[in-house]
Structure 1
Amino acid sequence: MNFPKLQITKSDIKLDMKIHDPIQRISQPSPKQTIEQPAGKLEINTTKGSIDIDQSQAWKDLGLLTPKESVLKYVADGRQAVLQGISKTVREGRQMMVSSGNGQGRSIVANIAKQNHGPHRVAMNIKFIPSAGAVKIDYTPSKVDVNYSPQKPNIDVQINNPTHDYQPGKVTHDIVQRPSIEIDFIE
């Protein structure tokens, strides 16, 4: 017995596909930035120092006096010398008056001359000139005040937005062959 046979012919679909890739462009422009730094404020205030040196006592110790002091000293020394001279003259006159009646004669004048013109002892000593503490120094130091105030920087930034350009991709297709199924009976 012959059974009928079934013959199936099938054809697949055939497509022609074209793919266009998407295009994307992204760019970020650089920001614009300006920075400005103002100079700080600096103030310096000073007061002058002073030094006072008083050496008048040292000059006096050395025998150097101001004109006024010199005149006063010479007046006092002159007065003292005059008084000593008067005293000496009176003393010698009194000595001659008292001794003249005793028969000494010329020996009185010789004795007075010996008193006036004999070897005199000179006092010797070491003297430190000027004396300690004769020069007085008064020092006032100077003062310096420094004031500094910094200034804040000025910063200006302009941010630029990114630019984005996008073209989507495409897929195009054409059917070259359509699918089909053919069934035949073969006996």
Structure 2
Amino acid sequence: MRIPQIQISTTDIQMDYTITKPFQQIKQPKANLQISQPAATVEINTTNAKLDINMDQLWRDLGLKPNHELIKEYAQKGNQEMLKGISKRVREGEQLMQSAGKEQGRATIQNIAKQNHGPQRSGPYNIKFIPSIGSVKVNIIPGTTDVNIEQNKPEIDVKVNKPQMDFTYGNVSGKMIVRPDVQIDVIG
């Protein structure tokens, strides 16, 4: 007896795929940055120095005095010399008066003449420096300088930009070239 046999033959599927890859692009724009530095505030206050030079004594030492001082000085000297002259004449007159009648008149007049003979020196002479030391007086008042600096902080303005993304989805599409098939045959 013959047993029938089953014969199975298959055909595999064949596909043609078209694949579009996904695309992604990311751009990061630079941040917007603005920096400004305000200038510092500088304030300078000064007081001027003062120099005072007093040369009055120097001019006096050189004999250059104001007219009213010279007139006053010469008047005082003239008054003193006049008083000296009066006292001298009174003294000489008293000497003559006391010797009168004693026959000493001639000797008294000779003594008075000897006293009045020639210039009288005041003493030993020495070198005198003109102007005198310290005749110019200098007074200095120093000036001052105050500096105030007020610094200003920098002004920083930052704007961060978000990233820019561009995304395209991928796609897969397929087309069947050979359809699958199963054939079953019975032999025998």
Instruction: After TM superposition, list the pairs within 5 Å mapping 1:50-61 onto structure 2.
Output: 50-61=50-61
Residue matched to 2:167: 166
- Give the distance between the partners of 2:83 and 2:130, measured in 1 at CA: 30
- Give the distance between the partners of 1:99 and 1:126, measured in 2 at CA: 44
- Give the distance between the partners of 1:8 and 1:112, measured in 2 at CA: 189
Q: Compute the TM-score of the two structures, normalised by the length of structure 1.
A: 0.73
Residue matched to 2:25: 25
What are structure 2's unaligned runs of at least 5 residues? none
Residue matched to 1:128: 129
1:160 counterpart letter in structure 2: N
More moved, 160-169 vs 132-141: 132-141
- Give the distance between the partners of 2:128 and 2:99, measured in 1 at CA: 43
1:12 counterpart letter in structure 2: D
Q: Compute the TM-score of the two structures, normalised by the length of structure 2.
A: 0.73
Residue matched to 1:35: 35
- Give the distance between the partners of 2:4 and 2:131, measured in 1 at CA: 158
Shift of 1:106: 7.3
Instruction: After TM superposition, list the pairs within 5 Å mapping 1:82-161 onto structure 2.
Output: 82-96=82-96, 112-118=112-118, 120-121=120-121, 123-161=124-162
Shift of 1:94: 4.3
Asked if the contact 1:27–1:163 (Cα under 8 Å) also holds between the matched residues in 2, the reply is yes
What are structure 1's unaligned runs of at least 5 residues? none
- Tell whether 2:63 aligns with 1:63: yes
Shift of 1:35: 2.7
Asked if the contact 1:15–1:173 (Cα under 8 Å) also holds between the matched residues in 2, the reply is yes
Shift of 1:171: 1.4
Asked if the contact 2:96–2:105 (Cα under 8 Å) also holds between the matched residues in 1, the reply is no
CA RMSD of aligned residues (A): 3.5
Identity over aligned pairs, percent: 48
Asked if the contact 1:34–1:156 (Cα under 8 Å) also holds between the matched residues in 2, the reply is yes
1:168 counterpart letter in structure 2: Y
Asked if the contact 1:100–1:108 (Cα under 8 Å) also holds between the matched residues in 2, the reply is no
Between the two proteins, the alignment pairs up a number of residues equal to: 187
Shift of 1:108: 6.6
